[in-house]
């Protein structure tokens, strides 16, 4: 049996912060897992170092499910983003090890490819509709089959999804949280004209997506979904906060715009009612925040019973290790829907050399044994951790709101 001999938590900041777990075995093979929780990175690093790593030493690296259950049930305190990101990192690293020892890419261990590649969506954004469309045309030229559109809201200084650099969106931007101002009525009026202009400029062959980022009430979301119906969106994302899963019933009663939710979910329980009642069309939970490849597989299999497809989160705060894992998962999951893809900076890519590749709107994880992603530890050590928070939102009268 391959015995776990060491596990190291690597914190690095090549352009942004990442936490990576590296598990080593006595057979000379190691595995990597992403453990990055944006804005709360060191909590996961401490959880791993103080409470998880000591339990791993000496265990059989092949017993992925047993280790998962040990860490989940054995903590007594279940779920939550910190715990589940830590468990995800272990799980991902063990799949990486199993693939390397078998000489197979992880997607082969998961049942093999169900498709030629994973359709991804790119992020077009701009301060104005014109800028956003211009950016979207660029993505279309690059071959993207699906594009997310986020545009500035007239009357608001800044909003979610609109970046300073249009090709690299990074919301965790300050040493203390930046305070933004939000107006639902201004936002609601701004979205339909964006998609109207987008269909004129981009045509109907490209899938269009939009992220509301948890900012509407269910009835407001119903209204926006209905207003967007003529433009046939691929999905409307995170229309309302999903703690109350039954709230999605109200949105469903009012619109046929497909709904996606779940990038902040940690377990199958966060989505159980949403899936069983078919209140959503796409589940956005991903490897790093939802307990790793093993748990995500269960979630996807459950979702498949109810015609819900996957649409994993894939922003830049999910490291290339998570991206690779998500692609192995997506390639081998029958009810895969789409994968979010925000390119990492060159600095990040240099720290995490990888085999996944983009061509004709699809991404493929490559055929290297394991996940096909590595970490250059010497280079990683050059980038010191820098505290960085996500912004917060207040309404125009100063009330704290959702970001």
Binding residues for Co ion (CB under 5 A): 211, 263
* Cβ-closest position to ligand EZ4: 315
Q: Which is nearer to Co ion, 41 or 263 (CB)?
A: 263
Please give the order of strands across the beta sheet that includes 4-12. 4-12, 18-25, 30-34
CA 161 to chain centre: 14
Residue 171 interacts, among ligand EZ4, Co ion, none and using kind-specific CB cut-offs from 5 to 8 Å, with ligand EZ4
Distance CA 186, CA 179 (A): 18
Distance of CA 43 to the CA centre of its chain: 19
Find the part of the chain contacting ligand EZ4 (CB under 6 A) among 83-91, 177-185, 310-318, 369-377: 310-318
Query: Could you tell me the smallest distance in angstroms from the CB atom of residue 161 to Co ion?
Result: 8
CB of 63 to ligand EZ4, least distance (A): 32
In the numeric block, the tokens 């305190």 are attached to: 77
Least Å from the CB of residue 169 to ligand EZ4: 7
Would you call 121 a catalytic residue per the annotation? Answer: no
Task: Confirm or reject binding of residue 38 to ligand EZ4 (CB under 6 A).
Answer: yes
Q: In sequence order, what are the residues at sequence separation of 6 or more whose Cβ sits closer than 8 angstroms to the Cβ of residue 76?
A: none
The CB-side HSE value for 273 (13 A sphere, CA atoms) comes to 9
User: What is the spatial distance between Cα 62 and Cα 59, in angstroms, rounded to a whole number?
Assistant: 9
Buried b (16+ CB within 10 A) or exposed e, 179-218: ebbbbeeebbebbbebbebbeeebeeebbbbbbbbbbbeb
User: Which residue number, 57 or 400, has a Cβ lying nearer to ligand EZ4?
Assistant: 400
160, 187, 341, 356: which one is catalytic? 160
Member of 213, 289, 295, 364 binding ligand EZ4 (CB under 6 A): 213
Q: Is position 96 an interface residue for ligand EZ4 (rule: CB under 6 A)?
A: no
Smaller CB distance to ligand EZ4: residue 225 or 370? Answer: 225
Contacts of 286 (CB under 8 A, 6+ apart): 263, 296, 312, 313, 314, 318, 322, 326
* Structure token digits, residue 152: 């500035």
3-state secondary structure of 317: coil
The CB-of-277 to ligand EZ4 minimum distance in angstroms stands at 23
How near is the Cβ of 237 to Co ion at its closest, in Å?
5
**# residues contacting ligand EZ4 (CB under 6 A):** 10
21 neighbors 33 (Cβ within 8 angstroms): yes
Tell me which of 207, 213, 214, 328 is the catalytic residue: 213
Q: Determine how many CB atoms are found less than 10 A away from the CB of residue 20.
A: 28
Cβ proximity to ligand EZ4, 2 vs 14, nearer residue: 14
Question: Looking at 61-69, 125-133, 309-317, 328-336, which segment touches ligand EZ4 (CB under 6 A)?
Answer: 309-317
Site string for ligand EZ4, 352-391 (x = CB under 6 A): --------------------------------------x-
Instruction: Compare residues 96 and 237 and give the one whose CB is closer to Co ion.
Output: 237
Helix (H, G, I), strand (E, B) or coil at 177: coil
CB of 161 to ligand EZ4, least distance (A): 7
Nearer to ligand EZ4 among residue 38 and residue 240 (C-beta): 38
Contacted by 315, from Co ion, ligand EZ4, none: CB < 5 to 8 Å by type:
ligand EZ4
- 210 carries an active-site annotation: no
Q: For residue 7, what are the β-bridge partners? A: 23
Contact residue for ligand EZ4 among 100, 317, 320, 333 (CB under 6 A): 317
171 binds ligand EZ4 (CB under 6 A): yes
Cβ burial of 386 (10 Å; 0-12, 13-18, 19+) is exposed
State both tokens at 267: 């377990």
**Closer Cβ to Co ion, 221 or 373, answer by number:** 221
- Closest contact distance (angstroms) between CB of 211 and Co ion is 4
User: Residue 354's binding partner, choosing from Co ion, ligand EZ4, none, with beta-carbon cut-off 5 to 8 A by kind?
Assistant: none
Contacts of 174 (CB under 8 A, 6+ apart): 388, 389, 391
Angle formed by the axes of helices 184-202 and 129-141, to 10°?
40
Residue numbers at the binding site for ligand EZ4 (CB under 6 A): 38, 171, 211, 213, 263, 313, 315, 317, 340, 390
Residues with active-site annotation? 160, 213
């Amino acid at each position: 049996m391959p015995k776990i001999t060491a596990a190291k938590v690597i914190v690095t900041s090549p352009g942004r912060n990442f936490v990576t777990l590296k598990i080593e075995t006595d057979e000379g093979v190691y595995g990597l897992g992403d453990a990055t929780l944006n804005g709360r990175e060191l909590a996961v690093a401490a959880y791993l170092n103080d409470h998880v790593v000591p339990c791993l030493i000496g265990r059989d690296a092949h017993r992925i499910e047993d280790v998962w259950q040990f860490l989940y049930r054995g903590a007594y305190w279940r779920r939550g983003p910190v715990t589940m990101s830590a468990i995800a990192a272990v799980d991902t690293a063990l799949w990486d090890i199993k693939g390397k020892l078998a000489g197979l890419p992880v997607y082969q261990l998961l049942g093999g490819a169900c498709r030629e590649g994973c359709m991804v969506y790119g992020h077009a954004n701009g301060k104005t509709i014109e800028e956003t469309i211009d950016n979207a045309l660029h993505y279309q030229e690059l071959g993207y089959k699906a594009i997310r559109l986020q545009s500035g809201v007239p009357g608001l200084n800044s909003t979610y999804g609109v970046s300073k650099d249009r090709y690299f969106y990074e919301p965790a931007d300050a040493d203390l949280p930046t305070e933004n101002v939000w107006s639902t009525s201004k936002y609601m009026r701004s979205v339909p004209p964006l998609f109207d202009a987008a269909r004129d400029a981009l045509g109907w062959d490209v899938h269009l997506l939009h992220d509301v980022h948890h900012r509407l009430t269910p009835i407001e979301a119903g209204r926006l979904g209905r207003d967007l119906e003529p433009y046939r969106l691929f999905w409307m994302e995170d229309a309302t906060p999903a703690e109350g899963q039954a709230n999605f019933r109200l949105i469903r009663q009012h619109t046929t715009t497909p709904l996606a939710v779940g990038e902040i979910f940690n377990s199958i329980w966060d989505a159980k009612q949403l899936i069983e009642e078919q209140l959503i069309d796409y589940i956005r939970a991903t490897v790093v925040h939802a307990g790793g490849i093993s748990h995500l597989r269960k979630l996807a299999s459950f979702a498949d019973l109810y015609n819900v497809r996957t649409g994993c989160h894939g922003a830049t705060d999910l490291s290339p290790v998570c991206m690779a894992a998500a692609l192995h998962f997506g390639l081998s999951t029958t009810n895969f829907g789409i994968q979010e893809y925000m390119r990492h900076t060159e600095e990040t890519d240099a720290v995490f050399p990888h085999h996944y590749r983009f061509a004709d709107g699809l991404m493929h994880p490559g055929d290297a044994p394991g996940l096909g992603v590595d970490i250059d530890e010497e280079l990683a050590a050059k980038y010191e951790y820098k505290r960085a928070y996500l912004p917060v939102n207040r309404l125009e009268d100063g009330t704290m709101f959702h970001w």
